[in-house]
Amino acid sequence: MLKRLILGTLCFSSLAMFSLFAQEEDPNAEYHKRFAAIPVPGKTPFDTVEKRREMYLSGYRSGYFWAEGPQNHFACPTNPNDWNGPVIRGWIEGWQAGAQAGGTGALPAKYGRFLAWDTAAANDATAWSQPVHGLQARLSVTSKEVVAGTPILSTYLELRNVAGVVNVMEIPLDPETIQFTVTNADGKTVPPSNGPFDGMTVPLGMTRLPHDSTLRFNISARGAGIRPGAAAHLDLGPKSNWSFPQGITGTYYLHAKFDIAKANNDQWWGTIEIPKIKIPVTGK
């Protein structure tokens, strides 16, 4: 009888303890609920392969969750490698959506080199300037790195020789004389930040373009102060640098123009107005 009483008491105690633990709330329940409620796109770049689609959406939710702020930074972001491209793309695009929704979590530096996904194709289709004495030009802008949580934009100038003669074209272009302007979607000029600048440039020298050839080179500067956690940093020299704050909205464009006075008949001269290019302000 005593054994039965003891066993019954033990069973009752075990059931009571189990019931008590079962009633305790999951300490991460709030995070799980918020994570599951993150809005995801109806279509993805990987809809034709279900596994890759799932990887993308998983990364998208993680990036969005991270963008909401430091309070969500309790797990290390996925490391990029050869097999998880859909996850990384989803992570970045989720982070972009979260930042646009008002999030304050900065993009991890290891993802900076992947920011050009949606800009490379767009820049490739960018219109060339009108030909002037056989020369055309265009710009492209992309992001290859992140410093202090801020995507650093690289700007490239591309020149093309479309002259109807076979002579090599000589262009005495000084990149420091290029005039840059940033405008918003309404066409209004956005003043440059032009804060402290500490950098140097290397003279380009004479540019030579053979017949029917193209030359592309980086014209970015590296001297303007970088605001931590900004949406983008565009540095084109001491009088032409812009810092786009996190959370800004709208679309921004970069315009450029250069003018070379006539020196002699052997060198190119004239004025080129380069069509505007959309600036990839990734934190919007």
Taking only the tens place, the pLDDT of each residue in 151-199 is 999 999 999 998 888 899 999 999 999 999 999 989 999 999 988 888 8
Domain spans of the chain? Answer: 38-105, 119-278
Q: How far apart are CA 69 and CA 81, in angstroms?
A: 25
Query: How many H helices and E strands in the chain?
Result: 5, 10
CATH architecture of 119-278: Sandwich (2.60)
Average pLDDT over residues 13-22: 44
Sign of CA dihedral 271, 277, 280, 284: positive
- d(Cα 58, Cα 67) in Å, to the nearest integer? 14
Q: Which of 215, 209, 217 has its CA nearest to residue 268?
A: 209
Of 171, 193, 174, the closest CA to residue 182 belongs to 193
- Distance, CA of 187 to CA of 195 (rounded, Å): 24
Q: What's residue 24's pLDDT?
A: 56
In the chain, what percentage of residues exceed pLDDT 90? 38
Position 137 pLDDT exceeds 90: yes
pTM over cut 0.85:
no
Q: Which residue has the tokens 């709030």?
A: 30
Per the model's pLDDT, the better-predicted residue between 76 and 284 turns out to be 76
pLDDT exceeds 90 at position 220: yes
Radius of gyration of the chain (CA): 27
Residue 126 has pLDDT above 70, yes or no: no
| Most confident among 38-47, 48-57, 65-74, 155-164 (mean pLDDT) | 155-164
For residue 57, the model assigns a pLDDT of: 93
User: Is pLDDT of 1 > 70?
Assistant: no
Contact (CB, 8 A) for 139 and 277: yes
Please report the pLDDT score of residue 82 as a whole number.
56
What confidence tens digit (pLDDT) does each residue in 247-278 have?
887 889 999 999 999 988 889 999 999 999 88
Which tokens is 214 given? Answer: 């193209």
Section 33-44 average pLDDT:
88
pLDDT at 115: 62
pLDDT category of residue 16 using cuts at 50, 70 and 90: very low
Query: 72: pLDDT confidence band, cut at 50, 70 and 90?
Result: confident
Question: What local confidence, expressed as pLDDT, does residue 14 receive?
Answer: 42
Residue with the bigger pLDDT between 13 and 79: it is 79
Quick one: average pLDDT of 130-155? Answer: 90
Predicted confidence at residue 46, as pLDDT, reads 82
Q: What is the mean pLDDT of residues 92-109?
A: 83
For 259, phi and psi rounded to 5 degrees?
Answer: -135, 130
What mean pLDDT comes out for the span 80-103? 81
- Residues 6 or more apart from 45 whose CB is under 8 A from it? 56, 86, 89
Q: What pLDDT, on the 0 to 100 scale, is given for residue 213? A: 93
The answer to whether 235 touches 223, Cβ cutoff 8 Å, is yes
89: buried, middle or exposed (CB in 10 Å: 19+, 13-18, 0-12)?
Answer: buried
Task: Find, among 280, 278, 269, the residue nearest to 115 by Cα.
Answer: 280
Cross-strand bridge partners of residue 192:
none
